[in-house]
Homo-oligomer: A and B are copies of this chain.
Amino acid sequence: MKDFDKIFTQITEETEKSINELFLPIPPLSIYEPFHYAITAGGKRIRPFLTLIAAGAISGKPYLAMDAAIAIEVLHNFTLVHDDIMDESPFRRGKPTVYKKWNEPVAILTGDVMVGWAYKLLNNYSSHPRYAEIIKSFTDGLIEVCEGQAYDMDFNTMQDVSEEDYINMIDKKTAKILQTCSILGGLVGDCSNDELKALSDYAYNLGIAFQLQDDLLDISAEQEKLGKKIGQDILEGKKTFLIINAKLKATEPEDVKLIEEFYQNHGLSEDYIPSMRHVFRKYGILEQTAQKAEDYLQLAIKSLSGIKEGLYKDLLIRLIEKMNKRNY
């Protein structure tokens, strides 16, 4: 695991270097200052890392995919800049969000121009034999991330969300952008169709597991490690994997009533978080979610069977393990 951390750090430093060289606060400053602010604000750079090691797994040359890796990181940050307006989030990574530090028009326009720059980076592959597929996959990613956010918004007002609806939503909202990473990395590495499917399935399963873990951490993490309030999803009325399954399983009247209140009032106040946690424990929802996440992680490993052995395949597997080490 130490090797992994070392390589992760090394690749991430290369990514940071490229980001710092590419995005300078040029005129018009009203959009390029916030663009620079958003893209250099940190973040784990998981998406560029995945893109680069996917390219490495196919071609042995991860850095050929740097422009694609950064294009996706820009796409990801574009969604954050716009989501923060929609969710009225004042802080991200401990700093004011773009719309709070500047204003809404600036944040809207900054996000918009970021999409343009993501595609501009992909221009650098215009002589690549897989160029059209690169553009198509990136565009599919952009559309599905927006659709995922739309489904997520719609869930707020829906009384009935099935587990299938939920998995479909997190597929688009969370897994799709990871899939775009692995697909673009694979395409830059000029992968075969089987390799493309392997990388795509891997990232899909990883993404779903990641979101399930996120749902679980919201209620079961230690406060200090989470970096946000425990039970935020319950406060906000989010229809997570936990609440959907609690609704299916709860039988005792007071538990049914609590869940009904959650649905009718689009969330519960802070006082009810311990009761809701109690309900989750009582019906085995925490274990069920952890198991479901574990199942997807196993599928992610299995997906990689068609990828040739070597350092970068190891890194893809270690990335799964690293994510599985999250505390809950």
Contacts and interface: CB of A to CB of B under 8 A. Distances in A.
Contact of A115 (B115, B126, B151): B115
Contacts of A153: 30, 105-106, 109
A23 to B, nearest CB: 13
A47 interface: no
B136 A126 contact: yes
Given A105-B153, A132-B131, A112 B147 contact: no
B132 A109 contact: no
Interface in A110-164: 111-113, 115-117, 119-120, 122-123, 126-127, 131-132, 135-136, 139-140, 142-143, 146-147, 149-151, 153-154
Contacts of A146: 31, 109, 112-113, 116
B85 A105 contact: yes
Contacts of A117: 143
A42 interface: no
Contacts of A190: none
A239 to B, nearest CB: 14
Contact of A116 (B28, B132, B139, B151): B139
B86 A147 contact: no
Given A105-B85, A120-B139, A147 B31 contact: yes
A76 interface: no
B109 A149 contact: yes
Contacts of A106: 153
Which of under 10, 10 to 19, 20 to 34, or 35 or more describes the interface residues of A? 35 or more
A113 B147 CA distance: 8
A142 B126 contact: no
Interface string A84-117: 0110000000000000000011101101110111
A313 interface: no
Given A108-B82, A116-B146, A30 B139 contact: no
Contacts of A112: 78, 82, 111-112, 115, 142, 146
B109 A108 contact: no
A142 to B, nearest CB: 4
A250 to B, nearest CB: 28
Nearest to A107: B108
Interface in A57-78: 78
A92 B232 CA distance: 38
A235 B127 CA distance: 50
A134 to B, nearest CB: 10
Contacts of A136: 123, 126
Given A28-B151, A116-B139, 9 more contacts: A30-B153, A82-B109, A82-B112, A111-B112, A113-B147, A116-B146, A119-B139, A120-B139, A135-B135
